[in-house]
């Protein structure tokens, strides 16, 4: 404001009016305008930067690498992230948010654990401890432009988190001095205890001074071993520190270095959660309760000067599977309860292997204002998603959307000046197809692109939990498709999905059952066992659960026509390889005829001479056409060089087999190429999915081919015609290319749809991302 104009304007005001004006000016400068919800804008992923591309642009190195915590230059154009396995920090140019570029890395002389940016410098917390009982660390100050270290500051122990104040006066470092989990029972206390270090930022980095804040004696559980985990600073320069293992929170005034308040993080009573680990029959069931569960918060972020939020990951005996909004006086303003558990189940990201532990495991939290709306971002480490909440009503957070990430999101960074959100996912294991990545999202005037499938509620008000979609079939009219899950849950279901909506709506689950003991009746038809590993009656019994549900490995589904009573055909892949002791045959490849309600009516077996060649990669797709069933085998069986296409005549009850010519392996990571699904096109023609078993930067073959079975004799090698290379479609969502394209269907309108199998959300190999992709009309 022009000062001369202001002087003239206020000269004629009364004292009361002048006071009111000054209050208004002070209020407007100190407090932001109220947050306003925006129904038209969402965050959508624009790109994923795989950290392995710092080693080589094509990511052909198997070196273990990671992005754990990420920060950005003040202009938001350069990302700097910690890479603990390689003892370095990495730099990424994000001037083009759709095409991030590797800028190289800088060794830290230790294990970088956290990072922040202040002016032209990145400040890196580095663990240099020679042992758990002799913790040590340092801060490394790095010039971002030159990517060179300019100063180092000694720390009194092992750092775990660093934060900077908005005004640039202070840094705060949580000195965790983490415990040795292999020592004794791994529980605290294990000395020396941790603390909080305050860095007074004045002058050149080499002149910055540190102060140590003692945090011992304030927590009840382990008063001598506070183990501070995470730190954040508000606009009043008050640091909030989580003491995770102590289930405690402390507030520290940075100017004085005093603990001004501390309090227990308390407990929650969870209901409608699943506390039973997979695998087991009957799927995920939100029917259990857990009383007095300690929150044990990890990541923390300020929402205002007087409120903050914690991600309640849990460590020793806690973890509330959610997040909490706190008032600065230690009272709870709001708690998520079971919301995150239900959310990840609704979108196919529920990790049932973690049901008995900490569920989705909220790891970190970040908050920022985008275009007038306050948002809170919660990272779920074991479900690999970011949950976005509108905080316009801080006492009642409103769920906005969910974002898919690469495996194990850890660091969350908001860059409002560029309308960007960046998430660092740390898990990296090329053999498991997991590549550590930086996920980049943009706040856009566009609908949310994810999820592509979400479920409705069951009768009890909890969502239908789903994942591992391994096959797809379209209804004869309308936009409905039917999916099926594979062997992951050991209790198979068919899903009715309406694709007319975005996201597609999973509306109904049909459990497959065998009340008439059709599976047990197969025992009388089994050939005499050739060896101890042969499929027998005991193995058959294992295919039916005590409640009558079935434990198959459905990999393909097709609607049964009215001529055969309607319902479904299911192709169940066999388990094991004939003659291989390490992988004994525990089930055969079988075709099941089901009623519309999922009851087993009929079972079709392969000829004995074909079963004798069984390998562990069998049935992958099924289609009914012209009085026949056509099944696709994934790969070649014993003594053969190509996978079979089996044709079963439903009237004559006889089999015929052709052979499919697979493309050669081209992935730099090796692996194999096989078939995944098959769909009838009419007139003897079929579309098949051919893919390699690679994902991310190693994926090379994800294709649709057309084959024609008309007039083909038994034993013929088929010709194929490429219809579509799916790699561009799989890259379009901006994430790492998903591996298993296992579902293919054509709607009555002629539109084609593909979907991937997320393997039941294995947090060591699969993020849970499911992409149901509409391909439109395809020629041929």
pLDDT of 479-495, one tens digit each? 999 999 998 888 999 99
The whole-angstrom separation of Cα 340 and Cα 381 is 12
Residue 62 pLDDT greater than 70, yes or no: yes
Confidence tier at 16 by pLDDT (50, 70, 90): very low
The whole-angstrom separation of Cα 32 and Cα 151 is 36
Write down the pLDDT at residue 359: 95
Give the model confidence (pLDDT) of 321-380 as tens digits: 999 999 999 999 999 999 999 999 999 999 999 999 999 999 999 999 999 999 999 999
Write down the pLDDT at residue 539: 78
Check: CB of residue 699 under 8 Å from CB of residue 693.
no
The whole-angstrom separation of Cα 333 and Cα 325 is 5
Confidence tier at 208 by pLDDT (50, 70, 90): very high
Reduce the DSSP state of residue 342 to 3 states and report it.
helix
**Mean pLDDT for all residues in the chain:** 93
- Looking at the chain, the whole-number percentage of residues with pLDDT higher than 90 is 87
Write down the pLDDT at residue 279: 64
User: Please, which residues have CB within 8 angstroms of residue 149's CB and are 6 or more apart in sequence?
Assistant: 106, 140, 141, 142, 143
Sign of CA dihedral 653, 657, 658, 662: positive
Least-confidence region, from 63-67, 256-260, 704-708, 727-731:
63-67
What dihedral do alpha carbons 405, 449, 422, 235 form, nearest 10°?
A: -120
Give the model confidence (pLDDT) of 723-777 as tens digits: 999 999 999 999 999 999 999 999 999 999 999 999 999 767 899 999 999 999 9
Q: Is-above-0.85 flag for pTM?
A: yes
Structure-block tokens of residue 559:
């609607």
Going across the sheet that includes 644-649, the strands are 619-625, 628-633, 644-649, 654-659
Instruction: List the Cα angle 71/76/81 in 5-degree steps.
Output: 25
User: Please, which residues have CB within 8 angstroms of residue 350's CB and are 6 or more apart in sequence?
Assistant: 284, 341, 344, 360, 383, 465, 467, 761, 768
Write phi, then psi, for 202 (nearest 5 degrees).
-150, 130
Give the model confidence (pLDDT) of 610-636 as tens digits: 999 999 999 999 999 999 999 999 999
Confidence tier at 277 by pLDDT (50, 70, 90): confident
Could you please report the per-residue DSSP string of 127-168? E--SBTTB--EEEEEEETTTTEEEEEEEESS-EEEEEE-TTS
Reduce the DSSP state of residue 436 to 3 states and report it.
coil
Confidence tier at 278 by pLDDT (50, 70, 90): low
- Residue of higher predicted confidence among 212 and 22: 212
Residue 21 pLDDT greater than 50, yes or no: no
The whole-angstrom separation of Cα 88 and Cα 105 is 6
Least-confidence region, from 197-201, 416-420, 765-769:
765-769
The whole-angstrom separation of Cα 199 and Cα 1 is 35
Reduce the DSSP state of residue 538 to 3 states and report it.
helix
Question: Within 10 Å of residue 311's Cβ, how many Cβ atoms?
Answer: 34
- 654 strand-pairing partners: 649
The whole-angstrom separation of Cα 604 and Cα 623 is 14
Write down the pLDDT at residue 184: 84
Residue 593 pLDDT greater than 80, yes or no: yes
Write down the pLDDT at residue 528: 54
Residue 118 pLDDT greater than 90, yes or no: yes
Residue 49 pLDDT greater than 70, yes or no: yes
The whole-angstrom separation of Cα 157 and Cα 215 is 13
Write phi, then psi, for 270 (nearest 5 degrees).
-95, 135
Confidence tier at 317 by pLDDT (50, 70, 90): confident
Check: CB of residue 341 under 8 Å from CB of residue 319.
no
The whole-angstrom separation of Cα 619 and Cα 622 is 8
Residue 532 pLDDT greater than 70, yes or no: no
Three state DSSP letters for 653-684 = CEEEEEECCCCCCCCCCCCCEEEEEEEEEECC
- Cα–Cα distances in Å, from 366 out to 300, 309, 323, 363, 377? 7, 8, 12, 11, 5
Strand segments, DSSP code E, in 426-514 are 437-444, 453-455, 469-474, 480-485, 493-498, 504-511
Confidence tier at 527 by pLDDT (50, 70, 90): low
Could you please report the per-residue DSSP string of 196-257? EEEEE--SSGGG-EEEEEE-TTS-SSSTT-----EEEE-TTSEEEEEEGGGTEEEEEETTTT
β-strands 88-93, 101-107: how paired? antiparallel
- How many Cα atoms are found within 13 Å in the side-chain-facing hemisphere of 146? 7
Residue 260 pLDDT greater than 80, yes or no: yes
Residue 538 pLDDT greater than 90, yes or no: no
Task: Identify the CA nearest to 351 among candidates 422, 411, 289, 408.
Answer: 408
Write down the pLDDT at residue 13: 38
Residue 290 pLDDT greater than 90, yes or no: yes
Question: Within 10 Å of residue 104's Cβ, how many Cβ atoms?
Answer: 11
Write down the pLDDT at residue 23: 37
Structure-block tokens of residue 318:
């806690």
Give me Rg for the CA atoms of the chain: 29
- Cα–Cα distances in Å, from 253 out to 196, 258, 423, 768? 11, 5, 29, 41
The whole-angstrom separation of Cα 247 and Cα 229 is 11
Reduce the DSSP state of residue 273 to 3 states and report it.
strand
Check: CB of residue 622 under 8 Å from CB of residue 646.
no
Task: Identify the CA nearest to 402 among candidates 45, 772, 71.
Answer: 45
Give the model confidence (pLDDT) of 137-182 as tens digits: 999 999 999 999 999 999 999 999 999 999 999 999 999 999 999 8
- Cα–Cα distances in Å, from 203 out to 148, 152, 169, 337, 601? 19, 14, 10, 46, 80
Confidence tier at 530 by pLDDT (50, 70, 90): low
What dihedral do alpha carbons 694, 695, 701, 704 form, nearest 10°?
A: 120
């Amino acid at each position: 404001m022009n000062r001369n104009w202001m002087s003239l304007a206020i000269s004629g005001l009364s004292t009361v009016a002048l006071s009111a004006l000054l209050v208004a000016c002070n209020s407007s400068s100190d407090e932001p305008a109220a947050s306003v919800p925006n129904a038209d804008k969402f965050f959508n992923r624009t790109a994923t930067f795989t950290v392995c591309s710092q080693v080589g642009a094509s990511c052909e190195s198997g070196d273990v690498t990671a992005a754990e915590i990420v920060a950005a230059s003040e202009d938001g154009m350069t990302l700097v992230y910690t890479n603990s396995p390689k003892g370095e920090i990495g730099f990424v140019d994000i001037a083009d948010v759709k095409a991030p570029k590797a800028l190289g890395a800088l060794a830290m002389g230790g294990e970088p654990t956290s990072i922040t940016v202040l002016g032209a410098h990145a400040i890196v917390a580095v663990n240099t401890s020679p042992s758990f009982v002799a913790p040590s660390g340092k801060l490394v100050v790095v010039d971002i432009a030159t990517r060179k270290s300019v100063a180092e500051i000694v720390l009194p122990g092992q750092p775990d988190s660093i934060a900077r104040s908005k005004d640039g006066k202070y840094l705060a470092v949580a000195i965790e001095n983490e415990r040795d989990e292999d020592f004794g029972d791994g529980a605290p206390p294990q000395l020396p205890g941790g603390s909080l270090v305050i860095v007074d930022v004045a002058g050149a980095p080499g002149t910055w001074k540190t102060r140590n804040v003692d945090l011992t004696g304030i927590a009840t559980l382990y008063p001598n071993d506070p183990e501070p985990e995470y730190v954040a600073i508000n606009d009043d320069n008050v640091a909030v520190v989580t003491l995770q293992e102590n289930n405690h929170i402390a507030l520290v005034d940075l100017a004085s270095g005093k603990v001004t308040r501390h309090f227990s993080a308390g407990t929650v009573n969870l209901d409608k959660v699943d506390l039973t680990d997979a695998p087991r029959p009957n799927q995920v069931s939100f029917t259990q309760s857990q009383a007095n569960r300690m929150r044990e918060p990890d990541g923390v972020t300020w929402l205002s000067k007087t409120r903050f939020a914690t991600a309640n990951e849990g460590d020793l005996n806690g973890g509330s599977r959610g997040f909490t909004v706190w008032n600065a006086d230690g009272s709870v303003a709001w708690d998520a309860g079971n919301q995150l558990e239900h959310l990840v189940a609704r979108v196919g990201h529920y990790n049932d292997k973690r049901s008995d532990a900490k569920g989705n495991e909220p790891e970190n939290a970040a908050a920022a204002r985008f275009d007038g709306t306050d948002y809170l971002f919660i990272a779920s480490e074991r479900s690999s998603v970011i949950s976005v909440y509108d905080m316009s009503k801080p006492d009642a957070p409103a769920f906005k959307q969910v974002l898919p990430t690469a495996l194990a999101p850890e660091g969350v960074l908001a860059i409002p000046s560029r309308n960007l959100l960046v998430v660092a996912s740390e898990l990296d294991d090329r053999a498991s197809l997991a590549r550590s990545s930086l996920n980049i999202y943009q706040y856009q005037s566009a609908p949310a692109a994810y999820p592509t499938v979400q479920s409705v509620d069951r009768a009890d008000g909890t969502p239908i939990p789903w994942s591992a979609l391994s096959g797809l079939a379209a209804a004869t009219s309308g936009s409905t498709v039917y999916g099926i899950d594979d062997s992951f849950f050991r209790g198979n279901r068919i899903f009715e999905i309406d694709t007319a909506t975005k996201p597609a709506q999973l509306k109904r689950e049909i459990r497959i059952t065998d009340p008439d003991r059709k599976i047990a009746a197969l025992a009388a038809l089994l050939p005499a066992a050739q060896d101890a590993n042969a499929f027998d009656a005991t193995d058959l019994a294992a295919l039916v659960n005590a409640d009558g549900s079935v434990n198959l490995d459905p990999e393909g589904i097709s609607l049964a026509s009215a001529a055969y009573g309607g319902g479904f055909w299911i192709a169940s892949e066999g388990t094991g390889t004939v003659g291989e002791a390490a992988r004994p045959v525990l089930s055969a490849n079988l075709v099941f005829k089901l009623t519309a309600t999922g009851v087993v009516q009929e079972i079709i077996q392969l000829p004995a001479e074909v079963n004798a060649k069984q390998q562990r990669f069998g049935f992958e797709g099924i289609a009914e056409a012209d009085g026949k069933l056509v099944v696709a085998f994934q790969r070649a069986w014993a003594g053969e060089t190509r996978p079979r296409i089996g044709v079963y005549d439903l009237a004559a009850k006889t089999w015929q087999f052709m052979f499919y010519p697979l493309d050669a392996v081209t992935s730099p990571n090796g692996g194999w190429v096989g078939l995944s699904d098959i769909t009838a096109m009419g007139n003897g023609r079929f579309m098949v999915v051919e893919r390699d078993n690679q994902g991310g930067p190693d994926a090379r073959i994800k294709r649709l081919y057309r084959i024609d079975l008309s007039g083909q004799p038994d034993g013929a090698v088929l010709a194929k015609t490429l219809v579509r290379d799916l790699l561009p479609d799989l890259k379009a969502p901006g994430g790492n290319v998903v591996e298993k394209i296992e579902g293919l269907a054509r709607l009555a309108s002629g539109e084609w749809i593909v979907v991937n199998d997320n393997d039941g959300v294995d947090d060591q190999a699969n993020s849970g991302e499911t992409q149901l992709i509409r391909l439109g009309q395809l020629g041929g």
